[in-house]
Amino acid sequence: MSIIHVDHLSKRYPVAIKQPGLKGTLRHFFRRTYRYIEAVQAISFEIQPGEVVGFLGPNGAGKTTTLKMLTGLIHPSAGQVQVAGYTPFQRPVDFLHQITLVMGQKQQLLWDLPAMDSLRINAAIYGLSDKEFRYRVAELAEMLALADKLSQPVRKLSLGERMKAEMLAALLHRPQILFLDEPTLGLDVNAQVAVRSFLQEYNRRYGATVLLTSHYMADITALCERVLLIYQGQLIYDGSLDKLLEQFAPYREVKIELDCQVNAEDLASYGELETFEGCVASLIVRREALTQTVARLLADLDIKDLTVTDPPVEEVIGRVFQAGAIA
């Protein structure tokens, strides 16, 4: 049985229209007119307990709006949604104990106080005993390598340490469903890796369900076997990441190192020239033309080295969004 069930979920926002000038201001005050923005348009999907699912889309596609409807922060305009058997916007206490929402650009820890003080407030809100509080903090702090930082004021922590402390605070009540909106936003590479490792371990240890949005494709490839793609409020793909790459990467990346310099124009006939610097070039070649193109390159040019790889996953996703739809 699915733990998250979404059926034709939509969100429509009214936006007031104001004409310029005094006349427009008066009309706007007494007789306001509106246009409507379809932020999310009739999306449907199901997520099973314990799944880690990536939720991808360009800025403004409707990702955060969808997460806010799934957590009950906003009321949907149409459709149905069930999370852990509850209707989110009714916000029952038992439902709130089972979920958490982590937003990379928001913080809940008090800036001038040690993180431990904010954690005690969270423990009181969720009714944890002192024994359970100490056990959970110790366990999560060990998983996050944060034990020696919780007594410091939050403002003295690095960005990566603050994000890990925010994660600890959000998971103190041990939720079974994690909604993560850009949890590694702004972090350096080492901090990103630490957060990903923690999420993998949390999912393994507690069987938690995770719905993750991120602009860092390394987050998605490290954590998610399944992805949802949303574009202009519409769900355009729901399936495995591997199948997405196989279906929508009908080309390969051919990197060549030449013995001598050639002109960019000389390489254009072999494929789409992606990068070209000195004697090293990268070409995008359609799969069906790959064998013939490689043979031509070896026959026509003085090549020192040649490698053929799949394009980076972020390029594939970008091309899907540029197309705007998936057949």
- Per-residue HEC secondary structure of the chain comes to CCCEEEEEEEEEEEEEECCCHHHHHHHHHHCCEEEEEEEEEEEEEEECCCCEEEEECCCCCCHHHHHHHHCCCCCCCEEEEEECCECHHHCCHHHHCCEEEEECCCCCCCCCCEHHHHHHHHHHHCCCCHHHHHHHHHHHHHHHCCCCCCCCEHHHCCHHHHHHHHHHHHHCCCCCEEEEECCCCCCCHHHHHHHHHHHHHHHHHHCCEEEEECCCHHHHHHHCCEEEEEECCEEEEEEEHHHHHHHHCCEEEEEEEECCCCCHHHHHHHCEEEEEECCEEEEEEEHHHHHHHHHHHHHHCCEEEEEEECCCHHHHHHHHHHHCCCC
pLDDT > 80? residue 220: yes
Of all residues in the chain, the percent with pLDDT exceeding 90 is 51
pLDDT band at 272 (very low <50, low <70, confident <90, very high): confident
Chain region(s) in the chain for CATH 3.40.50.300:
44-245
Chain region(s) in the chain for CATH 3.30.70.980:
251-309
Mean pLDDT of 51-60: 92
Q: Specify the amino acid at residue 46.
A: E
User: For the domain with range 251-309, which CATH number is right: 3.30.70.980, 3.40.50.1260, 3.20.20.100, 1.10.3720.10?
Assistant: 3.30.70.980
- Paired with 234 in beta bridges are 231
- Paired with 78 in beta bridges are 10
Q: Specify the amino acid at residue 1.
A: M
pLDDT > 80? residue 311: no
Mean pLDDT of 12-17: 90
- Output the six-digit token pair for 187: 């972090």
Give the CA-trace dihedral at 20, 26, 29, 32, to 10 degrees: -60
How many C-beta atoms lie closer than 10 Å to residue 78's C-beta? 12
Beta sheet of 303-309, edge-to-edge order: 272-277, 280-286, 251-258, 303-309
pLDDT value at position 274? Answer: 83
Mean pLDDT of 110-133: 93
pTM check: above 0.85? no
| Owner of token pair 């310099």 | 261
Q: Report the range out of 43-47, 112-116, 286-290, 309-313 with the highest average pLDDT.
A: 43-47
Q: Report the range out of 81-95, 275-289, 309-323 with the highest average pLDDT.
A: 81-95
Q: Specify the amino acid at residue 34.
A: Y
The answer to whether 294 and 256 have CB atoms below 8 angstroms apart is no
- Output the six-digit token pair for 302: 């003085």
How many C-beta atoms lie closer than 10 Å to residue 140's C-beta? 23
Furthest CA-CA distance within the chain: 76
CATH code, 44-245 = 3.40.50.300
